[in-house]
Amino acid sequence: MILEVDDNDAIREIVEAVLTAEGYEVATAADGSAAVELLSRQVAEGGALPELVLLDLTMPGMSGYQTLQKLRALPGGERVPVIFVSALPEEEEREHALAAGGVDYLSKPFQIPRLIELVARHHRPAV
pLDDT digits (tens, 9 = 90+) for 3-15: 999 999 999 999 9
For residue range 68-86, what is the model confidence (pLDDT) as tens digits? 999 999 999 999 999 999 9
pTM across the whole model = 0.94
CB count within 10 Å of CB 78 equals 10
By the 8 A CB rule, do 69 and 39 touch? no
Domains identified in the chain and CATH numbers? 2-122 (3.40.50.2300)
